[in-house]
Amino acid sequence: MQSKTVQTKHAAIRYLEGGEGEPLVFLHGAGGMTPDDPILKELSSRFHVYAPFLPGFGETEECETLRDMLDFALHGWDVVEALGIKNPILVGHSMGGMIAAEMAALAPNDVSRLALICPAGLWLDDHPIVDMFSLLPFEMPKYLFHDAEAGAAMMTSGLKMDDPKFLQDYLIRNARQMGMAGKLLFPIPERGLAERLYRVKAKTVVVWGESDKLIPPVYGPAFQAAIAGAKLVKVPEAGHMVILEKPSAVREAVEALA
């Protein structure tokens, strides 16, 4: 994946680009992304992928003028327009899925296909979502991965969770990213999306890891019921980070939208 920059009204946005085929815009979650992420490799094997870093993530600077969900959804469309893309396949994971769903509801005639991967955005009182802002680094893997031990190795690139180098890098990066993510996810990841999903016209697939302990899989049917004609794909032996554990299954679900 090549790293490039595109200018929008609010900020200069770094993005990753690679692959050939139909244009696909991938929106990452609160954990950010890297050029080596397996999901980007999988998607770019079939599509022309554009993966913008949200403000405060990667090399994209923070942007104080983006304050709420409407700002972020409009910013998403600003990025699409700046990239010169028409009618992209819109794919979002977790917080990125929340933004993608809002974008599809806001401009229902501008996206024909939508893939939401373990998206945030709904709230069920009987199934509360884990407060990710309260979790310490060593607590994250058991909520994010089907295999917590393997997930911890992915998160740390093989270092131990208590390794000073990992902790220093993680805490600095996490503070920066969570400052932005908090605008959408704190104190709970709910900004009224349930009242707007009826507007989505795009052919939609909702993908969920069956072992997701961060956002329980019960939210999958809730999204499916709220979006007319949506299909739900459950991925076994995968958690919230299904994009790392089972990226080929996610790619296949996106391909099936064609």
Per residue in 161-174, pLDDT tens?
667 766 666 666 66
User: If we measure between CA atoms, which residue out of 31, 80, 73 comes closest to residue 56?
Assistant: 31
Q: What pLDDT, in 10s, does the model give residues 114-148?
A: 999 999 999 999 999 999 888 888 899 999 999 99
Residue with tokens 């244009």: 23
- Domain extent, residue 114, equals 2-255
Q: Which of 166, 168, 146, 148 is nearest to 246 (CA)?
A: 146
User: What is the total count of domains within the chain?
Assistant: 1
Nearest to 56 by CA among 170, 155, 174, 157: 174
Cα gap 86→65, rounded to integer Å = 26
Tokens found for residue 7: 């200018």
Q: Edge-to-edge strand order for the sheet containing 231-235? A: 2-7, 12-18, 48-52, 23-27, 89-93, 113-117, 203-209, 231-235
Tokens 């501008």 -> residue: 110
CATH number at residue 221: 3.40.50.1820
102-125 mean pLDDT:
97
pLDDT tens, position by position, 207-216: 999 999 999 9
DSSP 145: -
